[in-house]
Structure 1
Amino acid sequence: MEAAGVESGIPGVGLLPWGSHFCQFYESQRDLADALVPYFRAGIRGNAQCVWVTAAPLQADQARELFRAAVPDVDALERSGQLEIIDYRDWYAKAGGLTTENLHQMWIEREKLALQRGYSGLRGSGNSSFLEVRDWKSFADYEMRLNGALQGHRAIGLCAYCLGKCHPECVLDAVRSHQFALIRRCDAWELIESSSLKIAKEELRKLNEELEERVRLRTAELEEALRMREDFISIASHELKTPLTSLQLYLEALLRAGAKGASSAGQLAERLAKVKAECSRLEKLVNCLLDFSRAMSSHLALTYEEVDLAEIARTTAERFSESLCQAGCALSLRADAPVVGTWDRMRVEQVAVNLLANAVKHAPGAPIEVSVAERDGRAVLSVRDHGPGIAPEDQGRIFERFVQLSPTERHRGGFGLGLWIARKIVDALCGTLDVESAPGEGATFRVTLPRVPAPSR
């Protein structure tokens, strides 16, 4: 509510921002009551301090009785100080007379006092029916000054003008010194405002809508970030705990065997090999965490040098020889001709490793084809497997964080970050990483890199 304004209580006016200063032209006591009673009732409901300065044709006692019909606890409100219904003679006596400085200062001081007492702001109203012709110029100056003074304050002012006592020049002065005017026509309240004010209000409405939408989107982003953080912590805790538990068990077994002197050289070597394997697994997980952190913060450090993509493909294939053998995957490599570019060697190697590891994981027992070529002046690395393939609806998801498409994949371990990190690296190198696949036809991951990175990146 505060972002758009506070409720005016008057039909046809609706919400008002703090600092509003408007006027009402009336012909009868009924006109006054129909606007001011709901105006102050809305102020009481909004926890504002309300000051109603009365004059004929609606004197203080009459205003109090009319307001009592709408708000029964008027006496309690007046005792607490939230509501003050006061005759204009008493009000101007407090202000020290009808002077611009005194009146202006009194309203501003009232607003400060209202806030100190814990109210949401100040809501006031005055009636100019008592003015004599000689006083009009001074009062018009006061209204003009008050119109600017209320800006930036938690106060709203409604000034009442009797049409029967206002000559044309007075009406023009009143409209000029207020943000808008309110008049009754065909038994309904109608706003009189300039076209520039209407445009400004429409622009403000649009800005409010845009701000609300941005807040909604940002809130959704933050909620998603919190959900991902919780998912990540849960996955990381589980995955890091597994190799640590295995390490602990292997080391305890080694210590027991060493204490008994019952471990042969072969058994010792076998157990140490398992310890080394778990350490390597733990190292990979920690490195994955570091890469994830850097990629999330857009701090992927890149060190450029001249690199042969074909050489990287060959060395990566050699590193995976044992894993390929264990998975029963026959590797076909086509990377004989050099394809040289200026890239970060370690990061390009990481992309190749992630793609080959992904193929081994998802296509065990099936052939894998790796190729390096130059196409239209750009370097292309392709990794194709002959596994089960990827459904069309999942081909975009596989590059997202923590995505593991099947329970079997989640059981194998890992964070579901390999392809996401690979794409982040390729993006940082100004390239593209895409997939072509269909269920039952395997998948081809294709990395395309410019030979020289764009300077702006």
Structure 2
Amino acid sequence: MTTALRQTGIEPVGEMPWGTHFCHFYETKDDLLETLLPFFKAGLEANEFCAWVVSEPLNEAEVWQALGRAVPDFDRYVSSHSIEVLNARDVYLAGGEIDLHRIIGNWSAKLEGALSRGYEGIRVTGNTAWLEQKQWRDFMEYEGELNRGISDQPMLVLCTYPLTTSGATEFLDVAGTHQFAIAKRRGRWEVVETPQLTQAKAEIARLNRELEQRVLERTTQLEAAIVDQRQAWSDLQETQKALAHVTRLTTISELTASLAHQVNQPLTAIVANATASLRWLDRTPPAIHEATDAMRCVIRDAERAGNVIAHTRELVKKSDGDKCLVSVDQMIREVLSFVRPELARHQVVVEEALAEDLVPVLADRIQLQQLVLNLIMNGIDAMSEVAARPRRLVVSCERGQRDSGAGVLVAVQDAGIGAHDLEKLFEPFFTTKRDGLGMGLSIARSIAQDHGGRLWARRNADHGLTLYLLLPEASDPRV
């Protein structure tokens, strides 16, 4: 049964849990109505089935009229049969005697019917002004059984007793068969608690103190755990950065032959042009114009070699984690220029489809270069054993659509041998290369996720795979 509190509508009582059985000692008819009308108004508005068992000084017609005045839109509750008004003698004295098993059985049946119709529970009140002295003992036995029986049921029961016929003995009997009693005398509310209720409140207070202490201790433990977790997260990020740096160095080492070729070409040209310049200057008279042209070629080739070295240093150095606006198409062209000799060495033809009007992305430039370099190197490796068809690598970028807004979509399509399990490609240390680390695509996906993006693979219709990278535009508020 739910432990949610129910609003009683009675000022000194407030909210009470299901299973509450209490009584009200009243002086006048108005006193009775002032208590019971808000009690039933609160029940109807809380989707509870309501039953009002009426006895003098009220009759059924008066109760219906009073409810109609007190409860907004009361006709709706009447038409849906959410409330019924019953005669006390019909409820308690059917058959001419008080049969507690019959009465409690009837309440159980009403509760079952109410729950089956979608009500939260039932709310009941019964007036006892009809009771005669000879029936008192049997009725108190019924009240005691009801008090014990509804403790775990979705029921609220309020019994009403007239003060004019309640002496000290009757008052003690009633208090002993209810959880507590309320009375309004001369305009003032009084609440009388039974010893059991007083003891229960003390036990609840003790349990609350224990709970507060446990919450305090647990909060302290959680705060310490959060500090440890933050430190662990910081350590993990540093480890990931170090691993990414190692992977970059490994990739650069794989490109050593291409890098040597890129540097060797301009160096050879520098030597040739410098030698030619000396020969032009040794002539009589010196051929100044020709020597100048040769030296211009020396300067041009020196700049070419310097650019190769600078680009290599940029890829090798550690990322500082700072993000800036990056033009994706321009960055891809730089990476392709860097790996052009490697593409030629593996006889890979590159097709570029790079849109130029893309919104920049906010990214760590070094990490993004590494990501794209890993995708291209993966495509080159995937086609290393292809001989029966052209080794074609298609690199494209365009505006894409994310679940939360626009983005930049990068695609690298190879014509390789493909893969059986696409998700396994992104697992750490998974590789099909004999001497590979198996970290390239795993780190690439981590970089993509750190930038709020996604990296995934799809099989091509004919041969190979396409790796897709989707990054949020810098204007996306979720970047």
Normalising by structure 2, we get a TM-score of 0.48
Normalising by structure 1, report the TM-score: 0.50
